[in-house]
Chain A
Amino acid sequence: MKRPRRSSTAGLSLLELLLAAALLAILLQKGISLMQQTARQTNEESAAVLLEERAQLVLERIARAVMGSDRDTLIPDHAEPLSTDDIEYRIHLGVQDGEVVWSDPEAIGLEDVDNSVFWMRMPEDAPEQRVTWTNLVRPFLEGELPNGMDDNGNGLIDEKGLSFTVDRNAVTIRLSLDRLTSDGRQITSTVETTVTCRNLSEEDLDT
C-alpha cells in the first residue's frame, strides 16, 4: 500500500510553530538571563581588578616618593595608633659641589572635599604644582568608622582612607579606594605597604 507522500513544499503545523516559538522564548530568556548575570559578574570583577590596579598604582607612586624622601624632612611622623592623611617631604636631587641638593617641599595627602589623593610641589617663589592621582578614596579606611575606636583591628584609630604611620625610618602607607559599579553596587579595594626612607642622616643610620 502506498502512503500518500507529504509534499516537500508543505509548512509546519500551527501547533509545531507555537511549540517551537515557546521553546525558543524559554531558551532565549534563560540565555539572556545567564548572559546578563555573567556580564554583571564580569563587570564587577573587572571593576574590582581595575580598582585594585588603581590602588596599587597610587600606592606605588606614594611609596616611591617616600623611599626617595629625606627622613629628616618627613613630617609629620605619627606612630601607631596615630596616623596622618598627608605628609610633607623633600627628595634628593643630586650632589653639587659636595653638597646634597634637595627638592622644593613636596606633599602627598588626602583632599577631604573630593576624596582625592593629591601630590603637590611647593616652590618658594613660584605657584605650587598640584596633580590628582585618584579621586576614589574612601573617607575612612575600609572597616573604619569615625567613632574613636579601632574598628578594623589594624591598630589605628579613625584612620582616613589614606593614612601614614611612621616608625623610625619605616613608613606604612594604607589606602582604601571605592567606587560604584554600573548596577549601583559599591566595591572597595584596600592596599598597604611599608617602605623605608632611603635618605637617612647619620643619626638615622645609627638607630
Chain B
Amino acid sequence: MRSRSTHHHQRHGSALVFALVVVTIVAGMSYSLLRITTFTTQRQASSTDDKRAFYVAEAGLAEAYYGLSRGYTGAIGTSDQPVLLGDGLAWVDATRTDDEILLRSTGLVGSGRATVEIALQSIDVELGIFADEGIELDVPFLIDGFDSGVEPYDTTARTGTIQADDNHSVVDEANQILFYEGLYYRYQNKSGDVYSYDAFFDPLAHPEYMEKYGIEPSPIYDSSILASDSDTTLQLGTGGTTWTTLTERERFKYGMYAAQEYFATLSLMEAPLLASDAAASPLGPSTGADGVIGSNGGISLSSPDTPAAVYGDILHGPEAGFESSGVTVSGTVGALPEEVQLDPVRVPGVVMLPGFVHDSALPRIIPSGQIGYESVSVAAGSELILVGPGAAVFGDLRLQPGSRLTILNGPGPVDLYVTGTVDFQAGALIETESDQAIDLSLQVVQSFLPVQLYAMSRFHGGIYAPGSQVAVGRDFEVFGYLVSRTLQLEEGVRLHFDTSTSGSLLLPRLLGWKIEEIPVQVRQNRGDPFRIFYTDDEQPLEAPAALETDCWEISVKIWTWNHSKNNWNRPDEMLGPAVNYQPDASEWVEIKSRNFSAPTTGGKTWHVRATWDDNANVMDYEGPFESFGGINGGHVLDWALWWQ
C-alpha cells in the first residue's frame, strides 16, 4: 500500500517538472522576444529623438541669430540650465572674437542629442543714419550721437554755438586739423588762481606744428597741473561772458586731460561746441560728436544760409563721393570699404486679424505678445497703446492729426512691422516709455509710398526701412538709428544716433555651418533631459524669455589720450575672472552694462572688482555689480567682472 502510493506521487511529480520546464522555456522565449521588441522600439525611438534633438539645436541657433540682431550676445541658457525649446531643451554658447562670433547650439530631446555650430562674421559698420541710394540734403538739420547705455541724450547734449568754428583756419589739409582762433580757455586751480588764455592751441601742440607755425608752447603743456590735480577747473569760451566747464570725461575726450605734448587729433574739431555763449544754437542742443551718416551712394549736404551740422562721421559709398556746402562736419569723411548689404525685413509669421479704425475716446490697448492686423488707423482724439514685450505686424499704420500712439516698452522691447504704408501725420503724437533705442524698432518691409514720419515724437528706437523712401518731419526727433532706401528731411530735423545699438538690424554674415561633436557629458547621459536638469519644482525658461533676461552685454569704453575709443561689448560669459584689463595711466575708462539689474537664472550674479583713481584717492570696490555705482571718471587701474 505504501509502495503504490509512493509510485503514484512520483508520476505526478514528473508531470510538474515537465510543466515547469515547458513554462520556463516559454517564459524565456517570451522574455527574449520582449527584449528584442523593446530594443527595436528603443532604437527606433532613439533615432527619432536624435532627429528631434537636431531640429531643436537648429532652432536654438535661429533664436540666437535673431538675438544678435537685437543687440544681444547670442548666448541662450547655459549647459547647467538649458532653456525650453519646443519639446526639448537647448542651450547656445556664444564665443566672440574681434571679427567672428561662434554660436554652438546643443539640443536634447528624450534620448536624442545633437550639437550644431555656425560661424558668423561680425558687421562692424555702424550705419547710424543711412540711406542705401545716396543722400542729398539741402535743408538745415542736425545729426549727432550719444550712448543711451551710458547717459541719456538730454544730459549729454549741450546748448552752445559753433561760433568759434567760423573763425577757424585749416592748418593741415591732409589731417583736417583746424586752428580755432575764436576759442579761449581758462582754468582755475584749487587755490583759486585763474589762468586765462586767449587762444586754443591744442592742435598745434605737436612739436612738428609748433615749429612749422612758430608757436610758443602753451603753459597748459608745460604744466602738469591738469594731469595731477583733478580739482582744477577747465573752462572753454568763445570770448563772451559765458564759460563752459568741461567734465572730466570731456577734458579727456577732447585731449586736455593729461599733460601730453601730443594733441594733434581730430577730436578737437568737436571742441568748439563746448564753448558756449549766451546765444542758443538754432540747431538746438547737441552732443557735438558720435553721429554717423552713411550711404552706399554719394552724400551731398548743403545749407548755405542756415546752420546744419553733422557732429560725427560721414561714410559714403565706395564708388561715390561726398560734397558739402555750409554744413559743419566734425568727424571724419571716408568711404565704406564695401557696399553694405541691407538685410530684408523678416516679418514674424502671425495670423493677421481684420484691420480697424480706432476713433474712440477710450484708449485701445494691444497687449504684449505677437499680434497682427491688416490695417490700423488712429483717428483724432484717440489713443492706441502698445504694451511690450511684443511684436505687432500691421498691413498699414496710420496716425491722423490729433491721434496718439503710446508704446509701453519699459517692460520689454516692442517691434513694429509694417508691410504696407506708414503714415504718421503732422499733429499726431508718439510717445515711448523706454529711452533705450534697443527697446523699439519700426521695420517697414517695402512701401511704395514714402514712409511718412511727420508726427510729433521723441522716438527712442530704430527705424529700419531698407526698401523704402523715408521722409522725416521736423517734429519727429529720432534717438536711435534710421536706415532707408532714400532719405528726405524737413527743415530743422534732428537725428541722434544711439551708439548703444548696433546701428541697424543688420545680421552678422554667415561664414559656415557644421555639425559638431556632442559634448562628452551630454553624450554619456541619455536620460530624460528634463529629469537631468530640472527637478519637479523647477521649470526651464522658454528660449525667448531666456534670451531677454539671461544674456548680458557689458560695455566697457576705453578712451585714450589720442581719442581712440575701444568699445568692449562682450557677452557675459567672456568676462570671467580671467578677463582682467589693466589700462595705462593715460586711459579713461567707463564701465556700464545692460540688464544687470535683472535677475539671472540659477541665482548667479555679476560681481565686479575695480580699482581707480578718483580725485587723487585710490578707490576700490569688490562685490555685486548691482551695488556698484560704476566708474564714470578717473583712471581705472584695474578691473574685472565675473559671475558666481
Question: CB within 8 Å of B: which residues of A?
Answer: 49, 53, 56-57, 60, 64, 67-68, 91-95, 98, 100, 198-200, 202, 205
Identify which of A56, A64, A91, A100 contacts B47 (C-beta below 8 A).
Answer: A56
A145 to B102, CA, bound (A): 48
Number of interface residues of B (CB under 8 A): 19
A57 to B43, CA, bound (A): 11
- Do residues B40 and A198 form an inter-chain contact, with CB atoms below 8 A? no
Question: A64: which B residues are within 8 A, CB to CB?
Answer: 515
A100-B511, A100-B512 are known contacts. Are A57 and B47 too (CB-CB below 8 A)?
yes
Question: B512: which A residues are within 8 A, CB to CB?
Answer: 92-95, 100, 199
Identify which of A56, A60, A94, A202 contacts B341 (C-beta below 8 A).
Answer: A202
* A-contact bits for B325-342, CB 8 A (1 contact / 0 none): 000000000000000010
Q: Is B458 an interface residue (CB 8 A)?
A: no
Taking the closest CB of chain B, its distance from the CB of A50, in whole angstroms, is 9
Question: B121: which A residues are within 8 A, CB to CB?
Answer: 98
A-B contact pairs, 27 of them (CB 8 A): A49-B40, A53-B43, A53-B47, A56-B47, A57-B47, A60-B47, A68-B513, A68-B514, A68-B515, A92-B511, A92-B512, A92-B513, A92-B514, A93-B512, A94-B119, A94-B514, A95-B100, A95-B119, A95-B511, A98-B100, A198-B118, A198-B513, A199-B510, A199-B513, A202-B341, A202-B509, A205-B510
- Do residues B514 and A60 form an inter-chain contact, with CB atoms below 8 A? no
Identify which of A68, A91, A100 contacts B119 (C-beta below 8 A).
Answer: A100
Question: B99: which A residues are within 8 A, CB to CB?
Answer: 98
A56-B47, A100-B119 are known contacts. Are A91 and B514 too (CB-CB below 8 A)?
yes
Taking the closest CB of chain B, its distance from the CB of A110, in whole angstroms, is 23
A92 to B119, CA, bound (A): 10
A205 to B512, CA, bound (A): 13
Sorted nearest first, the 5 A-B pairs with minimum C-beta distance are A92-B512, A198-B513, A95-B119, A92-B514, A100-B511
Closest to A200 in B: B510
- Do residues A53 and B44 form an inter-chain contact, with CB atoms below 8 A? yes
Question: B514: which A residues are within 8 A, CB to CB?
Answer: 68, 91-94
Question: A67: which B residues are within 8 A, CB to CB?
Answer: 513, 515
Question: B43: which A residues are within 8 A, CB to CB?
Answer: 53
A64 to B513, CA, bound (A): 11
Residue among A49, A68, A91, A94 facing the most chain B CB atoms (10 A cut-off): A94
- Please provide the chain B residues from 14 to 59 with a CB less than 8 Å away from any CB of chain A in the complex: 40, 43-44, 47, 51
* A-contact bits for B318-355, CB 8 A (1 contact / 0 none): 00000000000000000000000100000000000000
A91 to B119, CA, bound (A): 13
Question: B510: which A residues are within 8 A, CB to CB?
Answer: 199-200, 205
A49 to B43, CA, bound (A): 12
Taking the closest CB of chain A, its distance from the CB of B455, in whole angstroms, is 35
Question: A100: which B residues are within 8 A, CB to CB?
Answer: 119, 511-512
Taking the closest CB of chain B, its distance from the CB of A173, in whole angstroms, is 15
Question: B40: which A residues are within 8 A, CB to CB?
Answer: 49
Identify which of A49, A60, A95, A198 contacts B51 (C-beta below 8 A).
Answer: A60
Question: B102: which A residues are within 8 A, CB to CB?
Answer: 95
A85 to B643, CA, bound (A): 54
A198 to B119, CA, bound (A): 11
Question: B100: which A residues are within 8 A, CB to CB?
Answer: 95, 98
Question: A95: which B residues are within 8 A, CB to CB?
Answer: 100, 102, 119, 511-512
Taking the closest CB of chain B, its distance from the CB of A59, in whole angstroms, is 11
Question: B51: which A residues are within 8 A, CB to CB?
Answer: 60
Closest to A68 in B: B514
Taking the closest CB of chain B, its distance from the CB of A96, in whole angstroms, is 10
- Known contacts A68-B514, A95-B102, A95-B511; can you find 9 more A-B pairs with CB under 8 A? A56-B47, A91-B514, A93-B512, A94-B119, A94-B514, A95-B512, A100-B511, A202-B341, A202-B509
A200 to B44, CA, bound (A): 32
Residue among A60, A95, A205 facing the most chain B CB atoms (10 A cut-off): A95
A120 to B511, CA, bound (A): 25
* A-contact bits for B370-388, CB 8 A (1 contact / 0 none): 0000000000000000000
Taking the closest CB of chain B, its distance from the CB of A105, in whole angstroms, is 16
- Please provide the chain B residues from 485 to 524 with a CB less than 8 Å away from any CB of chain A in the complex: 509-515
Taking the closest CB of chain B, its distance from the CB of A93, in whole angstroms, is 7
Taking the closest CB of chain B, its distance from the CB of A54, in whole angstroms, is 11
A98 to B514, CA, bound (A): 17
A64 to B44, CA, bound (A): 18
Question: A93: which B residues are within 8 A, CB to CB?
Answer: 512, 514
A100 to B512, CA, bound (A): 7
Question: B513: which A residues are within 8 A, CB to CB?
Answer: 67-68, 92, 198-199
Taking the closest CB of chain A, its distance from the CB of B40, in whole angstroms, is 7
Question: A68: which B residues are within 8 A, CB to CB?
Answer: 513-515
Taking the closest CB of chain A, its distance from the CB of B564, in whole angstroms, is 22
Closest to A65 in B: B515
Taking the closest CB of chain A, its distance from the CB of B607, in whole angstroms, is 32
Taking the closest CB of chain B, its distance from the CB of A111, in whole angstroms, is 25
Taking the closest CB of chain B, its distance from the CB of A82, in whole angstroms, is 27
* A-contact bits for B161-194, CB 8 A (1 contact / 0 none): 0000000000000000000000000000000000
